[in-house]
Amino acid sequence: MGHSANNLAAVILAGGKGTRMKSRLPKALHPVLGEPMIFHILRAVARSGVPPERTLVVVGYAGDKVRQAVAEQGPYLFAEQAEQLGTGHALLTARATLENLANPAENILLAYGDNPLLTPATLQTLLTAHFETNPLVTLATSLADDPTGYGRIIREAPSGRFQAIIEENELTAEQKLIKEFNPGVYVFKGKWVWPALSRLKKSPKGEYYLTDLPGFAAREDGGTVELVPVDPQDILGINDRVQLAQVGDIFRYRVLREHMLAGVTIVDPASTYISAETEIGQDTIIEPNTHLRGTCKIGQDCRIGPNSILENATIGGNCQVFASVVQDSALEEEVSIGPMSRVRPGSYLEKGVYMGNFAEVSRSRVGQGSKQSHFSFLGDTTTGPNVNVGAGTITANYDGVNKNKTVIGARVFLGSDTILRAPVRLGDEARTGAGAVVTKDVEPGVTVVGVPARPLERKAGQPSQEPTQNDGDGVSNP
């Protein structure tokens, strides 16, 4: 890129109430594809080359909430617009902070917080044009059959020279026919823009419009205004909840398309929701009605869905998640889950774990090759490899005050309906009989049965009773 980070800063306007949203939540925090819409803009700005420490967010209505959410995303700068007197006034609130930077910005990239479809590429096109031609203002422009609601671009006939932006409610009947509109992305020359702001006049609506600035540059200051055409699909603003849904849909398809082009099969895009920050490996198949939320990382050759919800899940290659839920957890490769199972936050399933139907794990580590299914629950548990969790087995991990730990050794075999009253430890190759209520630690290799469970005593000469190995359906009571 033809600019150094030093001479550029960005301003995102997010001070407005978003009256047309008819909401108590500030507009900037309404989710698009599961994340506050402003996060998408912040990412586009960062990826276009302006780091968070040179990006200022103007907050106003419910400013604390917006500030708090944004601050978690990086070391952003903030300015408080106490009264929402318009977009021009909003930019003015950013002046002091930006002029006091160690390296004051010579150029200001400005975008609105309600434009989440903005891409780094669009911003870069604008910046490149700005640094090449060095005008007072570089302005994105676009065309739509029906640009109702947007400010319109007024050009001089016949030269086509830019003259002004006029807001919707001040358009004449003739101007309403203009199809060229203002997408709301600008690059301003810093030295020019700060003093120019003081020339803004209150509109009949009682607001100071930022959109008057390009007109000043062209008509009054004899400067140039550089117009850069952008795709209307990349700059649709969100002003009400109809547009929220429309923009959300465009965003969703954009993300799905990128995955498909990169080698992921998405069987039914219409019912598939994949967050912007999710990564998916080649030849993975995403079945219908699947939701990948937050930051998910999915390996190659997996089959996810149908009807699965993954949130902040890390999934190795060759895994299957069938009609199940995985939250804030990691699966190594070749893990199979479901149907109707749930991996709750803080869990880690090692390679080859099989979690069949109606199984739940929470804050647990399940060892390589272990099997669990049929209405069972492991909470605050660590298991060794090749453990078999019988049907109906649960860890009683909560005593009403504390969550207690269960530690299960390698190759332990838990009979059907075992209750493990935590805290408790079972040594390697320990076994439990069906219905055992285990209240005390079990030594390696020992079989315990009954309520409360006691070591099984074998009479000399009798063959030991081997539990049947049937994928966790458990053992018959000895």
**Contact residues: ligand UD1, CB under 6 A:** 13-16, 27, 58, 60, 81, 84-87, 89-90, 112-114, 150-151, 165, 167, 181-184, 209-211, 237, 239
- Nearest 5°: the CA angle 295, 297, 301 is 150
Q: Tokens for 245?
A: 């849904």
Phi, psi of 272 (to 5 degrees): -115, 130
Least gap, CB of 38 to ligand UD1 (angstroms)? 8
- Choose among ligand UD1, Mg ion, none what residue 389 binds, the Cβ cut-off being 5 to 8 Å by kind: none
Least gap, CB of 158 to Mg ion (angstroms)? 32
Compare residues 123 and 424 and give the one whose CB is closer to Mg ion: 123
The rounded distance, in Å, linking the Cα atoms of 330 and 63 is: 36
Q: Tokens for 17?
A: 């109430």
Q: How far is CA 182 from the centre of its chain?
A: 29
The rounded distance, in Å, linking the Cα atoms of 259 and 265 is: 8
Q: Tokens for 58?
A: 């103007």
Least gap, CB of 18 to Mg ion (angstroms)? 8
The size of the chain, in residues, is 478
Residues 168, 175 contacting (CB under 8 angstroms)? no
Q: Which residue intervals of 198-277 are DSSP H helices?
A: 213-215, 241-261
Residues 318, 337 contacting (CB under 8 angstroms)? no
Compare residues 11 and 412 and give the one whose CB is closer to Mg ion: 11
User: Counting beta carbons within 10 angstroms of the beta carbon of residue 441, is it exposed (0 to 12), middle (13 to 18) or buried (19 or more)?
Assistant: middle
Task: State the catalytic residue, choosing from 30, 40, 259, 374.
Answer: 374
Residue type, 1: M
Q: Tokens for 90?
A: 């909003």
Residue of 223, 237, 306, 478 interacting with Mg ion (CB under 5 A): 237
- DSSP string over 462-476: SPP-PPP-STTS---
Compare residues 239 and 386 and give the one whose CB is closer to Mg ion: 239
- Choose among ligand UD1, Mg ion, none what residue 384 binds, the Cβ cut-off being 5 to 8 Å by kind: none
Compare residues 185 and 302 and give the one whose CB is closer to Mg ion: 185
Compare residues 105 and 165 and give the one whose CB is closer to ligand UD1: 165
Q: Does residue number 294 form part of the binding site for Mg ion (CB under 5 A)?
A: no
- Find all residues with CB under 8 Å of 334, minimum gap 6, and list them: 316, 317, 318, 319, 351, 352
Please, which of residues 138-177 interact with Mg ion by CB under 5 A? none
Residue of 97, 239, 357, 439 interacting with Mg ion (CB under 5 A): 239
Closest by Cα among 210, 190, 212, 230 to 9: 190
Please, which of residues 84-123 interact with Mg ion by CB under 5 A? 114
**Is 259 designated active site?**
no
Task: Decide: helix, strand or coil at residue 239.
Answer: coil
CA distances (Å), 159 to each of 156, 224, 454, in order?
A: 6, 14, 96
Residues 319, 338 contacting (CB under 8 angstroms)? no
Compare residues 16 and 338 and give the one whose CB is closer to ligand UD1: 16
Number of residues that bind Mg ion (CB under 5 A): 3
Compare residues 235 and 366 and give the one whose CB is closer to ligand UD1: 235
Compare residues 66 and 256 and give the one whose CB is closer to ligand UD1: 66
Secondary-structure breakdown of the chain: helix, strand, coil percentages, each rounded to the nearest 5: 25, 30, 50
Residues 388, 371 contacting (CB under 8 angstroms)? yes
Residue type, 180: E
Least gap, CB of 171 to ligand UD1 (angstroms)? 11
The number of beta carbons lying within 10 Å of the beta carbon of residue 223 is 16
Least gap, CB of 151 to ligand UD1 (angstroms)? 2
- Choose among Mg ion, ligand UD1, none what residue 210 binds, the Cβ cut-off being 5 to 8 Å by kind: ligand UD1
- The residue number with the shortest CB distance to ligand UD1 is 151
Least gap, CB of 114 to Mg ion (angstroms)? 4
CA distances (Å), 332 to each of 163, 310, 316, 354, 376, in order?
A: 60, 15, 5, 11, 21
Compare residues 205 and 257 and give the one whose CB is closer to ligand UD1: 205
**Contact residues for Mg ion, defined by CB under 5 A:** 114, 237, 239
Residues with a known catalytic role:
374
